[in-house]
Amino acid sequence: MTEDRSHIAGGSIASKLSSAELLRLPAIERERSPRRKLLTGEKITRYLLWTLSLACIVFYLAMSTWVSPVLSAPMLVGLSIEEAQRKLADVGLQGNVAGLEASDAPQGEVIDQLPLQGTRLQEGDRIELHVSAGPDGIVLPDLIGQDIETARMTLERLGLVVSVKQLPSDEPAGTVLLTTPPSGFSITDTENEDELQVSVYVASHVLSAGLVEFALNGLQVVIEPHYVSTAAGDVSFDVSRRLSSLFEAAHAEVTVTRSSRERSVAQGEFDRRAEAAMPELQIRLSVNTSGGGGIVIKAPDISANSAAVKIQERLQYQQIEAGLERIDAFGEAAARNTVEIVLGSTASPTDLGHFEENYWRDAVARAVYMAVSPQFDLNR
For residues 122 and 166, state if they share a domain.
no
* Same domain, residue pair 117 and 241: no
The predicted-structure confidence for 208-244, as pLDDT tens digits, reads as follows 444 556 788 888 999 999 999 888 889 999 999 989 8
Dump pLDDT digits (tens) for 53-73. 787 777 666 555 555 567 889
Instruction: Check residue 96 and give its pLDDT.
Output: 84
> Where does residue 319 fall: left (phi above 0), alpha (psi -120 to 50 degrees), or beta otherwise?
left
Distance between CA atoms of residues 210 and 192, nearest Å: 40
Q: Which of 208, 143, 138 is nearest to 170 (CA)?
A: 208
State the pLDDT at residue 10.
46
Please indicate, yes or no, whether residues 226 and 314 belong to a single structural domain of this protein. yes
User: Do residue 255 and residue 343 come from a single domain?
Assistant: yes
**CA atoms of 279 and 223, how far apart (whole Å):** 10
Residue 2 carries which side chain, given as an amino acid letter?
Answer: T
Structure confidence at residue 308 (pLDDT): 53
The whole-angstrom separation of Cα 155 and Cα 162 is 7
With a cut of 90, say whether residue 76 has pLDDT above it: yes
pLDDT over threshold 70, residue 130? yes
Q: How many domains does the chain have?
A: 3
The 10 Å Cβ neighbour count of residue 304 is 10
Query: Is 326 inside any structural domain?
Result: yes
Q: What is the mean pLDDT of the chain?
A: 76
Dist CA 214 CA 207 (whole Å): 13
Residue 8: DSSP 8-state? I
pLDDT at 7 over 90: no
Q: 3-class DSSP state for residue 44?
A: helix
Is 371 in the same domain as 228? yes
Question: What integer pLDDT is reported at residue 221 of this predicted model?
Answer: 92
Contact call for residues 149 and 117 (beta carbons, < 8 A): no
The domain boundary residue, chosen from 150, 180, 204: 204
- Is residue 49, in this structure, part of any structural domain at all? no
Query: Does residue 5 lie within any of the structural domains?
Result: no
Reduced to 3 states (helix: H, G, I; strand: E, B; else coil), residue 115 is coil
Q: Is residue 28 part of a domain?
A: no
In the chain, helix, strand, coil percent, each to 5? 35, 25, 40
The rounded percent of the chain whose pLDDT value lies above 90 is: 17
Q: Check residue 319 and give its pLDDT.
A: 40
Greater confidence, 366 or 152? 152
Q: Which pLDDT tens digit goes with each residue over 301-322?
A: 544 455 555 555 555 444 433 3
Are 150 and 101 members of one domain?
no
- From 240, 180, 201, select the one nearest 318 (Cα to Cα): 201
The pair phi, psi for residue 299, each rounded to 5°, is: -160, 160
**In a shared domain, residues 123 and 146:** no
> pTM for this structure?
0.48
**Which of 122-126, 187-191, 235-239, 246-250 is modeled with the greatest confidence?**
235-239
Q: 317 to each of 173, 205, 321, 322, how far by Cα in Å?
A: 18, 15, 10, 12
Cα angle 178, 180, 185; round to 5: 105
Q: Which domain holds residue 112?
A: 70-132
Q: Is residue 121 part of a domain?
A: yes
Residues 179 and 288 in one domain: no
Q: How confident is the model at residue 5 (pLDDT cuts 50, 70, 90)?
A: very low
Better-predicted residue by pLDDT, 92 or 330: 92
248 and 154 together in one domain: no
In a domain, 23, yes or no: no
Q: 132, 151, 176: which is the final residue of a domain?
A: 132
In a domain, 102, yes or no: yes
Q: Of the residues 132, 157, 173, which one is the last residue of a structural domain?
A: 132
Predicted confidence (pLDDT) at residue 287 exceeds the cutoff of 60: yes
Cα separation of 339 and 301, whole Å?
10
Query: Does one domain contain both 260 and 363?
Result: yes
Residue 303's pLDDT is what? 47
Same domain, 227 and 329: yes
Helical segments of 143-298, H only? 148-157, 235-249, 267-277
Q: Bigger pLDDT: 9 or 104?
A: 104
CATH of the domain at 369: 3.40.630.40
Assess whether 161 and 122 both reside in one domain: no
Highest mean pLDDT, choosing among 31-40, 159-168, 270-279: 270-279
CATH code of the domain in which 168 resides: 3.30.10.20
Please check whether residue 21 lies inside any domain of the structure.
no
